[in-house]
C-alpha cells in the first residue's frame, strides 16, 4: 500500500526541536502519542535501549528519542507508506546514528528476532477497533492505524514480553474500553500493571483513550485521569503539562 501521488505531505512540529513529515489526508500524530511518550518518560526517564512496536510515522519513537538523547532506539512498522515516512523522519531529525527502524509485522517471529532484546522500555500504540468497524472508503494508512488488521493490544503485549529486559517497562496506549482485554493479556504474559492513565477529551466526557504500564514485577500502581479541556473548552493544566513536556510553550 502506497500513498496517492497527489497526497500532500506536511512537516509539523512534534517537540520543540523535532518535526514530523506526515500525510495531510493520512494517519497523523495526536494526543495519544504524546501521552504515551509522557507516561514512558515518567516511568523510565533515562532508558538505555527503547523499542516502539508499530511505530507508524515515528511519533512516539522520536518523542522518546528527543527526551532521552543518550538512548539507543528501535522501531518496527508493517505499513510501507508509514515505514517510508518514519525513515524520512529519523533522517530529518538527525538521529539515524542511534535510531533504527525495521519494516515488518510485530507478530512475525523472524521480525521479532531482528529487533533484539533486553529493552528497558517498550512502547506501543495499537489500533483501537476490531475489523468489523472498518469503512471501505477510509484511507488505507489511517485504516491500518485504527483497525486491528494485524492484531490489537494482545499482539503488542505478547511481542513486548519477548523483548523486554527483566526490569523492563511496557507502556501501551489503546481504546479506553479495552481495559478488560489489557488486563487479561497482561496476566497471560506474566506481567503486572503498574500504571494506568485514563484520558478525557473534555471535563465530564467519556474517556478518549487509556495508557497502561506493565512490568514483570508488581509494585504500587499509578492510577490517574488526565483531562485535556475544561467544561468551557479551554486547555487544562494537564494539557499545558503535556505541551511543556514536548518543549512547546
pLDDT digits (tens, 9 = 90+) for 105-135: 999 999 999 999 999 999 999 988 777 766 6
In the chain, where does DSSP find H-type helix?
A: 31-43, 59-67, 80-92, 109-115, 140-146, 153-163, 179-188, 237-245
Q: Which residues pair with 227 in a beta bridge?
A: 200
Q: Which residues pair with 25 in a beta bridge?
A: none
Give the separation between CA 151 and CA 127, rounded to whole angstroms. 8
Contact 46, 23 (CB under 8 A): no
Q: What are the tens digits of pLDDT across the range 11-67?
A: 999 999 999 999 999 999 999 999 999 999 999 999 999 999 999 999 999 999 999
Q: Is the pLDDT of residue 83 over 60?
A: yes
Domain limits, the chain: 29-245
Burial of 127 (0-12, 13-18, 19+ CB in 10 A): buried
pLDDT of 134 reads 61
CATH topology of domain 29-245: Rossmann fold (3.40.50)
pLDDT of 151 reads 86
pLDDT of 1 reads 47
Q: Which residues pair with 164 in a beta bridge?
A: 119
pLDDT of 138 reads 72
Q: What is the mean pLDDT of the chain?
A: 93
Amino acid at each position: 500500500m502506497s500513498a496517492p501521488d497527489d497526497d500532500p505531505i506536511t512537516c509539523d512540529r512534534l517537540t520543540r526541536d523535532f518535526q514530523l513529515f506526515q500525510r495531510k489526508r493520512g494517519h497523523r500524530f495526536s494526543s495519544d502519542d504524546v501521552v504515551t511518550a509522557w507516561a514512558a518518560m515518567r516511568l523510565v526517564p533515562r532508558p538505555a535501549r527503547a523499542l516502539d512496536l508499530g511505530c507508524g510515522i515515528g511519533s512516539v519513537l522520536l518523542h522518546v528519542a528527543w527526551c532521552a538523547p543518550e538512548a539507543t532506539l528501535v522501531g518496527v512498522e508493517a505499513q510501507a507508506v508509514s515505514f517510508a515516512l518514519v525513515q524520512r523522519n529519523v533522517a530529518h531529525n538527525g538521529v539515524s546514528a542511534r535510531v533504527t527502524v525495521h519494516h515488518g509485522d510485530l507478530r512475525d517471529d523472524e521480525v521479532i528476532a531482528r529487533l533484539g532484546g533486553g529493552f528497558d522500555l517498550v512502547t506501543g500504540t495499537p489500533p483501537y477497533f476490531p475489523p468489523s468497524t472498518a469503512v471501505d472508503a477510509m484511507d488505507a494508512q489511517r485504516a491500518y492505524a485504527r483497525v486491528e488488521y494485524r492484531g490489537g493490544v494482545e499482539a503488542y503485549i505478547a511481542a513486548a514480553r519477548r523483548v523486554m529486559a527483566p526490569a523492563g517497562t511496557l507502556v501501551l496506549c489503546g481504546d479506553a474500553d479495552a481495559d478488560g482485554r489489557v488486563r487479561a493479556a497482561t496476566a497471560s504474559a506474566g506481567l503486572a500493571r503498574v500504571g494506568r492513565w485514563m484520558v478525557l477529551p473534555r471535563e465530564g466526557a467519556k474517556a478518549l483513550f487509556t495508557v497502561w504500564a506493565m512490568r514483570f514485577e508488581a509494585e504500587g500502581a499509578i492510577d490517574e485521569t488526565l483531562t485535556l479541556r475544561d467544561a468551557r473548552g479551554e486547555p487544562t493544566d494537564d494539557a499545558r503539562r503535556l505541551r511543556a513536556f514536548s518543549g512547546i510553550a
